[in-house]
A and B are shown apart, each in its own frame.
Chain A
Amino acid sequence: MRILASWRPGVDDSDPFFAEALAFAQADPELLWWVEEERARYAAIRGKLLEIEPPKDLARTIIAGRPIPMRPAWSGRQILQLAAAIILLAGVAFYWLRPGPRNDIATYEKYLTRVVAQGYRMSLESNDPARIRRFLASNQAPADYAVTAALERATPLGCATLSWNGNPVTMLCFRDRPGRDVYLFVVDREAIPKRTPNPSPRIEQFGDYSAATWESGGKTYVLTVRGEPDVVQSYL
């Protein structure tokens, strides 16, 4: 019983530390009864904790309060050195500053990969493709997308809506096999002005993830999956 006091039903069942105690309980009616009661107690307390909701404006307050890096206090000599550097680099800086550096396809791909790697919250969990489309359409996110043949065979898990420079982005989640989740992002082509028209998929690797990017029907698609480029290639 002492071991099972820190057991989380449904989460730790396969952990060998708890599995042995749970198996032992199967042979002891009294202990088994306690396990079932404990399962109910755990669910009840967890449910109560999840009822606690943060203040409505907390997320907005946090985002608005994001700190801007402090400007360092410069000495007179440092200011002169900085001015000289600025003059020497003015031409290069002008070249760099002309295009919007944050709105190119590479930055967009990196952003999507980081969303997948950091974790995400599904807006809708559903295995029904039609329901997912209806949900996205009603939330002003791209819903007239085309899914690749390989993804048609995978199980839809749901979707999320993201934003890229004020443009809605659709995130579709699929499970191809246990432990293999595949993500398809769809955004209107005009949302990323700095791009090269790219009807054929272009594949890039970002750390542990690979991403394939292509354009079709006025949309820009990015397909992301954990693994080497040949893994993402298998879903195109």
Chain B
Amino acid sequence: MTPDPLFENLVELYYRDLYRFAYGLVRNEADAADLTQQTFFIWANKGHQIRDQAQVKSWLFTTLHREFLQKHRREIRFSHQEISIVEDELPQVMPDTIQKMDARMLLDYLGRLDALYRGPLVLHYLQDLPYKEIAAVLGVPLGTVQSRISRGKALLYKMLAGPGDRDSREGSHE
């Protein structure tokens, strides 16, 4: 196959961040790698349609999220649109508690959140995109993104502050 320096540069540039986003969504290595690979596969077939090169990154994240939604439609369809109890204030969790935690354990907690909250929260922490683009990636209004981050973070902090029953899922009906 003829090498394509542009494609290779694009992969090198974004595959780590896309993989982390995918991992935050699907919570396992194999599925995250599949989603990342599928995203670049779609780019190779359709990427030439993008006229504004500055939109490439946002396009890749949007495509990955769309692929995730298609593959996990059942999970999303039966998830709660709203959680019944929303904290007025974020629960207290000490930064040291998080620092001492293993990265995969943190993702395990994150993975117990409803898929509605996982995507916004992971993008919030990865800092790859401005909020307007996060809203476009997730296909929801900006206010909804911020409210999901706020609620998702409240649930995450609650779990981190007191793990309790690790088999229970927060804000999720998966």
Contact = CB atoms under 8 A, between A and B. Distances in A.
**Chain A complexes with chain B:** yes
Interface of A: 1-2, 5-6, 8, 11-12, 37-38, 40-55, 58-59, 61-69, 102, 111, 114-115, 117-121, 162-165, 207
A46 B126 contact: yes
Chain B interface SS verdict (over half): helix
Contacts of A43: 95
Given A1-B89, A5-B153, A53-B16, A65 B37 contact: yes
Contacts of A162: 5, 9
B106 A62 contact: no
Contact of B9 (A11, A41, A65, A118): A118
Given A5-B154, A45-B98, A58-B36, A63 B23 contact: no
A54 B19 contact: yes
A105 B90 CA distance: 57
Contacts of A61: 33, 37
A10 B57 CA distance: 21
6 interchain residue pairs of minimum CB distance: A40-B95, A5-B150, A44-B98, A54-B19, A51-B103, A117-B53
16 contacts: A5-B154, A6-B124, A6-B131, A6-B145, A8-B127, A37-B94, A48-B98, A50-B20, A52-B104, A52-B107, A61-B33, A63-B7, A64-B1, A114-B53, A118-B53, A121-B12
A195 B104 CA distance: 52
Contacts, number: 138
Nearest to B15: A59
Given A6-B146, A45-B98, A55-B33, A120 B20 contact: no
Given A55-B29, A58-B36, A119-B56, A65 B41 contact: yes
A2 B150 contact: yes
A6 B23 CA distance: 21
Contact of B44 (A44, A48, A55, A67): A67
Contact of B101 (A48, A120, A121): A48
A66 B9 CA distance: 13
A115 B11 contact: no
B11 A42 contact: no
A62 B11 contact: yes
B49 interface: no
Contacts of B7: 63, 66
Given A42-B125, A45-B125, A63 B11 contact: yes
B162 to A, nearest CB: 15
Given A52-B23, A67-B44, A59 B125 contact: no
Contact of A118 (B13, B15, B44, B153): B13
A54 B98 contact: no
Given A11-B127, A49-B24, A62 B16 contact: no
B4 A58 contact: no
Contacts of B106: 45, 48-49
